[in-house]
Amino acid sequence: MNTAIYPGSFDPITLGHLNIIRRAASIFDKVIVCVMVNSVKNPMFTLDERVELINRVVSRLNNVQVETFSGLLAEFAEQHEPAVIVKGLRAVSDFEAEFQMALINKKINPKLDTLFLTASEKYTYLSSSVVKEMARYGADLSEFVPYEIIDDVLAKSGNRR
Ligand code: ADP
């Protein structure tokens, strides 16, 4: 079975993340969305909340599962071999850090490849930080996050629809 591991902080999951998950799910037999512990400082959502939100959003994608991991990504990948890491590339600004991470992961585990999917044009501007900022002002989040989680994001930031 060929497996893709899609790591990130997902604080919270956005339509950009979901776009990458859907596309990976159509290429690979299995996609594991891996919520990395300690990947964000002062997260808006706890780890368990982030996992619950992602599960809600991917519930109809049968070959997608959600896990958490607190160690090195290369170690997580080793537990699921053979697997590749999938990442979304939004802009040139993502490239340098992502390229460096891919090389480090390969250094730790030479069998581990990283595959980059180009962000959908619609979502190149989108990040979890943008979502949090918009939520703080009670903005319409329908273009940013999956509809199933809009109320949770607004409620967390002290706003309700
Ligand atoms: P963020 O950068 O939004 O805080 P994460 O750390 O959770 O997000 O990102 C996990 C992965 O998802 C990274 O590979 C990142 O490049 C990718 N990603 C984030 N936002 C988007 C988007 N809008 N479109 C495509 N890929 C994205």
Nearest CA to ligand 1 atom 14: 87
32 CB burial (10 A radius; 0-12, 13-18, 19+): buried
CA distance 79 to 98: 22
Digit-coded pLDDT (tens) for 129-156: 999 999 999 999 999 999 999 999 999 9
- Ligand 1 centroid to residue 89 C-alpha, Å: 8
The per-residue pLDDT for 161 is 58
Digit-coded pLDDT (tens) for 71-100: 999 999 999 999 999 999 998 878 999 999
Residue 160 in this model has a pLDDT that exceeds 70: no
What is the token pair recorded at 6?
């899609």
- Ligand 1 centroid to residue 127 C-alpha, Å: 6
Catalytic site positions: 17, 41, 90, 128
Beta-carbon contacts of residue 145 (< 8 Å; ≥ 6 apart): 12, 13, 14, 15, 131, 153
Digit-coded pLDDT (tens) for 9-41: 999 999 999 999 999 999 999 999 999 997 777
Pocket residues: Cβ below 6 A from ligand 1: 8-10, 14, 16-17, 20, 87-88, 90, 94, 119, 123, 126-128
Residue to probe by mutation, ligand 1, list 19, 20, 35, 105, most atoms within 8 Å of CB: 20
Contact 112, 105 (CB under 8 A): yes
